[in-house]
Structure 1
């Protein structure tokens, strides 16, 4: 079985070799707020070798203090679809809103909540961290 997704215009499509929808998290950092134009971004981590992308992709390299991020956008509508970065080799970060069936997703964790918008209320039963989550705790939250 596979999970599918697409950009805003449909020119770029993808398939994830998986039986279940990926688990997603919300990032409230200022970079994600600016990139999404919203209060936070919702993302899913998937193994890059399980992701197959078709259609026109434009790659934009963004270098920060400690990593290089390769952002992938649809070449037609310029919707951001996914990225990889040097801090997590072999992992693709899918923009959850590009997944087909995204309405079935449940957010499993929130990171960088020190920067969240004041009007955003986090559920009490969902783990959250004011900055980056410790990797072991973050993975445990996504897997619950």
Structure 2
């Protein structure tokens, strides 16, 4: 399978070859702030599956665990595009909203649900992790 995506202005684009490793919804406060919404939908691919064109700016964030979270975004339009974690080498987490065709996405898990907005309802059939999934 080939998937493509881009930031809002199109200055950063990507192509992914192969299947997704996972798709999840993060409810941590930092993802809420970065997304400007109640959560962030993301999916994981192996680094070798993705080719990114354009220049990403990186903000080094810190998770509640103290671990570094590299948040990569378009320096022109500000769209968050990907996240990388030194604790999970070889994996790239792509922000789902940047995918051109989101019909392939089916979130399999919700994590950091201890921080979710109280009005967000999660299907009881979907696994939930209250805190750090790692």
TM-score (norm 1): 0.83
Could you tell me which residue of structure 1 aligns to residue 88 of structure 2? 88
Question: How far does residue 99 in structure 1 lie from its aligned partner after superposition?
Answer: 0.9
Structure 1 residues not aligned, in runs of 5+: 136-144
CA contact (8 A) 1:23 1:105 kept: no
Residues 131 and 63 (structure 1), Cα distance of their counterparts in 2 relative to 1, 3 Å cut: closer
Structure-2 separation of matches of 1:24 and 1:97:
12
Instruction: Considering fraction of residues, name the structure with more helix.
Output: 1
TM-score (norm 2): 0.88
Instruction: Considering fraction of residues, name the structure with more strand.
Output: 2
Structure-1 separation of matches of 2:44 and 2:128:
17
Structure-2 separation of matches of 1:86 and 1:104:
27
Structure-2 separation of matches of 1:12 and 1:67:
26
Structure 2 residues not aligned, in runs of 5+: none
Could you tell me which residue of structure 2 aligns to residue 17 of structure 1? 17
RMSD, matched Cα? 1.8
Could you tell me which residue of structure 1 aligns to residue 79 of structure 2? 79
